[in-house]
Amino acid sequence: MTANSTASGFLNRAKLVKLITFDVDGVLTDGGLYLSDSGEEFKRFNSLDGHGIKMLRASGVEVAIITARTSRCVELRARNLGISHVYQGAERKLDAMVDLLNRLDIPRDAAAYMGDDVVDLVVMRHVGLAISVPESPEIVREHAHYVTRRSGGHGAVREACELIMSAQGTLEAQLAPYLK
């Protein structure tokens, strides 16, 4: 949580979430940009985050990606996780989010966004639940309803997914097959 939020306020917002959208660099990854001598870009994704996304999707929450950069590895990761709503090269992230909300007919207070930098603020301030990571600049953390304990690319997305499922009462059902 941030200094401006309460546990009950966060949980009430999380209960409403029908869509969560993730930034990539600094959220789904550690924020590092790995470039080869030939210019090929590499990103490191976390498998715990990936399984969290799969469980959240199975619980009925739509998942999307909005990122200003364009990378083939993001397309491949999204396909692997079953994420069909991917906006790459989105210089105007709010336009992408509004388009997504309109296409899915989801009100903005039923949407969550997880970002890590000032370019994400416009979207974070537009949705019902804004989530960030501890490495974010202070101004971003101040506008988040929840700041994860885990770092971007190191389980922060899994933490956010589990918190939403917990608030919606679906986490136990998603974990049940692994506890037999």
Instruction: Taking residues 77-97, report their average pLDDT.
Output: 97
The one-letter amino acid at 4: N
Quote the CA–CA distance of 158 and 7 in Å, as a whole number: 18
3-class secondary structure, 22: strand
Residue 6 pLDDT grade (very low, low, confident, very high; cuts 50, 70, 90): low
Quote the CA–CA distance of 173 and 117 in Å, as a whole number: 33
Residue 1 pLDDT grade (very low, low, confident, very high; cuts 50, 70, 90): low
Residue 172 has pLDDT above 50, yes or no: yes
**Architecture of the structural domain at 13-145+154-171:** 3-Layer(aba) Sandwich (3.40)
Q: Token match 């990936």: residue?
A: 50
What integer pLDDT is reported at residue 13 of this predicted model? 96
Chain centroid to CA 61: how far? 12
Residue 165 and residue 36 in contact, taking contact as beta carbons nearer than 8 Å: no
Residue 3 has pLDDT above 50, yes or no: no
Task: Give 41-76 pLDDT, tens digit per residue.
Answer: 888 999 999 999 999 999 999 999 999 999 999 999
The percent of residues in the chain predicted with pLDDT above 90, rounded, is 87
Residue with the bigger pLDDT between 150 and 36: it is: 150
The percent of residues in the chain predicted with pLDDT above 70, rounded, is 97
Residue 116 and residue 26 in contact, taking contact as beta carbons nearer than 8 Å: yes
Task: Give 8-45 pLDDT, tens digit per residue.
Answer: 788 999 999 999 999 999 999 999 888 889 988 888 99
The one-letter amino acid at 114: M
Q: Token match 């992230």: residue?
A: 93
Q: Token match 């296409």: residue?
A: 103
Q: Judging by beta carbons within 10 Å of its beta carbon (0-12, 13-18, 19+), is residue 67 exposed, middle or buried? A: buried
